[in-house]
Amino acid sequence: MLFRLFNAREGDDYRAVLKGRCVLFAVFIALGFTTLAVSLFLAIFDVLDSSISYAIGFYAGVGIGVAVACLVGLISTRRLMKNEQKMRLEFIKETDEREKEVTLRAASATALALIAVAYVAMMVTVVLNRTVFYTLLAVAVVFFVVFLSSRAYYAKKL
């Protein structure tokens, strides 16, 4: 689904876009397996302190998840590239202006919800847990910095 954010644009050579996407999938599969390998290394050589050993399970889970999801994406993209008719339909779906509008509005609503939840969570955690509070504060600051800088970028670009 995330790869949908990097959709083709009208006039693009869709086959080239799909090829680029396959390369991206391959990079993420490698990243997933690397994460899995790191988790196996940590488990076998018992590097981590027992109090944070749950991190091994997290690394393994994320690694397998990313690798499998990208493998599925890679296979379906390569299959799509073999069928001209399906490729054309998929290109129309990706470049459809209404679909783009729907995605933009959904992203906007998600960002708003994220900030609202972060605000409530910060109000609660400020009295309960300082570490969690600072983490949430950092997320909010990064969010606004990215938002303002990307807004400035697109204001100049468009």
Partner 1 sequence: MTNQIAALRKARRITQEELADAVGVTRQTIISLESGRYNASLLLAHKLAEYFSLTIEDVFLFEEDE
Does the protein bind partner 1 through residue 96 (CB under 8 A)? yes
Task: Decide if 62 contacts 55 (C-beta within 8 A).
Answer: no
Does the protein bind partner 1 through residue 13 (CB under 8 A)? no
**List of long-range contacts for 106-111, beta carbons under 8 Å, 24+ apart:** 111/143, 111/147
Pick out residues in 100-129 that bind partner 1 (CB under 8 A): 101
> Could you tell me the two tokens for 4?
């949908």
Q: Which residues contact 81 (CB under 8 A, 6 or more apart)?
A: 15, 18, 19, 87
Does the protein bind partner 1 through residue 90 (CB under 8 A)? no
- Give the count of residues interacting with partner 1 (CB under 8 A): 9
Does the protein bind partner 1 through residue 84 (CB under 8 A)? no
Does the protein bind partner 1 through residue 12 (CB under 8 A)? no
Q: Which residues contact 94 (CB under 8 A, 6 or more apart)?
A: 4, 7, 8, 14
Does the protein bind partner 1 through residue 7 (CB under 8 A)? no
Window contacting partner 1 (CB under 8 A); options: 61-69, 73-81, 93-101, 139-147: 93-101
The whole-angstrom separation of Cα 124 and Cα 132 is: 10
* Comparison of 10 and 13: residue with beta carbon closer to partner 1: 10
Residues forming contacts to partner 1 in the complex (CB under 8 A) are 10, 92-93, 95-99, 101
